Amino acid sequence: MTGQKEELEETFDRIFALKHQCSCGIFSECGLSDLTVKQIRYLQVIEQNRDVTFSRLAEITGTSKPTITELVNRFSRMDCVYRRPCSDDGRVQYICLTKKGEMIARAEEEALDRLTNRIMETLSDEEIDTLIGLLEKIG
């Protein structure tokens, strides 16, 4: 039983490593291989809350407005976000993702897609059906 557990853990480690390689490849394609998990999460929050204001982003993330301003300035220099003034109130600015920012925010989804494609290229239809059946049993 212990041997099976170790083998299963090693198998999942390899799968997770493949997914990580896919994620790193996406970040590298964007020229941003040194992003932190927290920074990626902020970009995901911006994507999920389209046209979010500085105050609202601070509220959602539980951080201060000065921290959000610093973060947005950094993301802006990285060409991940831009500011769009509110047409009704010039004092309000929305934080919007650039194409690059969207790609980074969606990197996990894209990495999963790349991993899935790799599995589909490697396994036969029968093996894929077996894998799906086995994974459905546990989740």
Q: Are residues 5 and 40 in the same domain?
A: no
Rounded CA gap, 132 and 139, in Å?
A: 10
- Mean pLDDT for the stretch of residues 63-74: 95
Rounded CA gap, 109 and 57, in Å?
A: 22
Paired strand residues for 53: 94
Are residues 57 and 49 in contact, defined by beta-carbon separation less than 8 angstroms?
yes
Are residues 104 and 40 in contact, defined by beta-carbon separation less than 8 angstroms?
yes
**pLDDT of the residue at 1:** 60
Q: Are residues 45 and 101 in the same domain?
A: yes
Q: What is the mean pLDDT of the chain?
A: 88
Q: How many domains does the chain have?
A: 2
Q: Are residues 87 and 45 in the same domain?
A: yes
Q: Are residues 99 and 68 in the same domain?
A: yes
**Cβ neighbours around 30 below 10 Å, total:** 18
Which residues form the domain of 88?
Answer: 35-105
Are residues 54 and 95 in contact, defined by beta-carbon separation less than 8 angstroms?
yes
Its sign, for the CA torsion 136, 114, 21, 50, is negative
**pLDDT of the residue at 29:** 77
Asked if pLDDT for residue 32 goes beyond 90, the answer is no
Asked if pLDDT for residue 26 goes beyond 80, the answer is no
**pLDDT of the residue at 71:** 94
- Mean pLDDT for the stretch of residues 103-130: 89
Q: Are residues 101 and 132 in the same domain?
A: no
- Mean pLDDT for the stretch of residues 7-21: 84
Dig out the tokens for 137 from the structure.
């049993």
